[in-house]
Amino acid sequence: MIDVAVVAFTQRQEAAISGESEVEFMVPLMEQAKASVGLTQSDMGFTCSGSSDFLAGQAFSFVMTIDGTGPVPPISESHVEQDGAWALYEAWVKIQCGGIDTAFVYGYGKSSPGSLRDVLATQMDPYYVCPLWPDSYAVEALAARLMLEGGHVSERRLAEIAARSRASAASNPHAVRSEPKSVDEILAEEHVLDPLRPSDLPAEADGGCAVVLAAGDRARELCERPAWIRGMDHRGDAHTLGVRDLTSSMSARLAAQHAGVADDKVDLAELYGPFTTSEHLLIEALGLDEDGTAINPSGGALAAHTMMASGLIRIGEAASRIWRGDGDRAVAHATSGPCLQQNLVCVLEGD
């Protein structure tokens, strides 16, 4: 296994970036990420991105953003119609294959032109479910009631998760929901989709992020304290909601096992839980101890949910805390699909 580290990270998240196109707001992020370690695109052994045409409302929308990398003459490049965390996984595998020691990864989403919760109905089964257009909040609300009535979680616990996210987000300049609220204030909110309250929902944002990966000595040259990827795995549950146990996440648990989360203490965890319910399930599935592990010090996706980037941002947030010495061992998680259907877990360590 080749040692690979996250050595650079930039991000931008705002409630709506209406005045700029995707490539316009990504170019400065891409440039800053590369410049922060003194690299240019020609130094990159591989480039991989994650985005979604359904957010952009445009087929092959990602090719316009590739212009921002400088792809003439053509670069070694790939794209996933997935969160950028899966692009990072592909880049990590590419480095493992040998021959390169750097990779550039980015993910972005501008969902404000459409209605994200409705657009996400199109990820459901196209024969049985999508024609009814259940939006993403409705689908999560079904899981939430199962969890609440089955005694897997309490409304107070969900409100505590929401309050913690708001409090942590206060120090995150990229958060779009950071006004403090007490647990009781959150419990007094009216339901949006009973049993979910507004604070249980993701704070939708536009934006993106860029990451530089480097291997071995190259990483040590570029970064004082590289955030080494010690394990990474991704797994998916069945597509059909009715055959899944929505009160736990088998795929997140297996991904965490294979990434080696439990091998040592975890100082901090950045979890992509779009809903309070998902964050609760993830803490259980990853076996995290909230007394010893700082959960979502950035506020997580509850504070800023940038579709197709929130997972890669979790990896960047966790890595930057290792660079700064806020922790020695961190877990980053990304998800995709309804009710945590797919999960990626990445373990990062400083020397």
Partner 1 sequence: MSSEVLQAPLVLEYPFTRSTGPVIGAFLTGLRDGVICGIRRADGTVLCPPQEYDPLTAEPLTELVEVGQAGEVVTWAWNGDPRPMQPFDRPFAWALIRLDGADTSMLHAVFAPSAAEMSTGMRVRVVWRTEREGHIADIAGFEPIPAVETA
Partner 2 sequence: MSADRPEARDPLAAPAALSAPVTLPEALAGAEPVESVCTPIRMAYTYTPGRALSRYLRAMADKRILGERCGATGQVFVPPRGVSPLAGAATSEVVELADTGYVESFNITRVPIERRPDLKPPYCSAWIVLDGASVGFLGLVINLAPEEVRIGMRVRAVWKPDEELETSAANILGWEPTGEPDEVITDYERIGRIEASDP
Length of the chain: 351
- SS3 at position 228: strand
Gyration radius from the chain CA atoms: 19
Among 54, 89, 92, 106, binds partner 2 (CB under 8 A): 54
67 binds partner 2 (CB under 8 A): yes
d(CA 347, CA 311): 13
For the chain, how long is the longest CA-to-CA vector? 58
Choose from partner 2, partner 1, none: what does 193 bind? Cβ within 5-8 Å by kind.
partner 1
Residue 294's beta-bridge partner residues? 268
State which of residues 15, 37, 93, 138 lies at the interface with partner 1 (CB under 8 A): 138
Amino acid identity, residue 292? G
The whole-angstrom separation of Cα 309 and Cα 111 is 11
Compute the distance between CA of residue 102 and CA of residue 270 in angstroms, rounded to an integer.
24
Residue 219 CA to residue 217 CA, distance in Å, equals 5
Which residues 80-119 are close enough to bind partner 1 by CB under 8 A? 113, 115, 117-118
Please state the closest distance from residue 255 (CB atom) to partner 2, in A.
11
Residue 158 binds to partner 1 (criterion: CB under 8 A) = no
Residue 127 interacts with partner 1 (CB under 8 A): yes or no:
yes
**Region from 143-151, 225-233, 258-266, 329-337 binding partner 1, contact rule CB under 8 A:** 143-151
Which entry of partner 2, partner 1, none binds 76, CB below 5 to 8 A by partner kind? none
Of positions 2, 76, 128, 324, contacts partner 1 by CB under 8 A? 128
What stretch of H or E contains 4? strand 4-14
Of positions 50, 107, 134, 299, contacts partner 1 by CB under 8 A: 134
Distance CA 340, CA 221 (A): 37
Binding-site partner at residue 173 among partner 2, partner 1, none, CB < 5 to 8 Å by type: none
In 3D space, the residue among 331, 298, 299 whose CA is nearest the CA of residue 227 turns out to be 331
Q: Show the site string, 254-283: x = touches partner 2 by CB under 8 A, - = not.
A: x-----------------------------
Q: Which is nearer to partner 1, 38 or 57 (CB)?
A: 57
Q: Please, which residues have CB within 8 angstroms of residue 216's CB and are 6 or more apart in sequence? A: 2, 3, 101
Task: For residue 340, give the nearest of 273, 287, 288, 280 by alpha carbon.
Answer: 273
Q: Kindly list the residues in this chain that would bind partner 2 in the complex (CB under 8 A).
A: 18-24, 27-28, 30-31, 41, 54, 57, 64, 66-73, 113-115, 118-119, 122, 126-127, 130-131, 243-245, 248, 250, 254
Q: Kindly list the residues in this chain that would bind partner 1 in the complex (CB under 8 A).
A: 18-19, 57, 113, 115, 117-118, 121, 126-129, 131-135, 138-139, 141-146, 149, 191, 193-196, 238, 240-243, 246
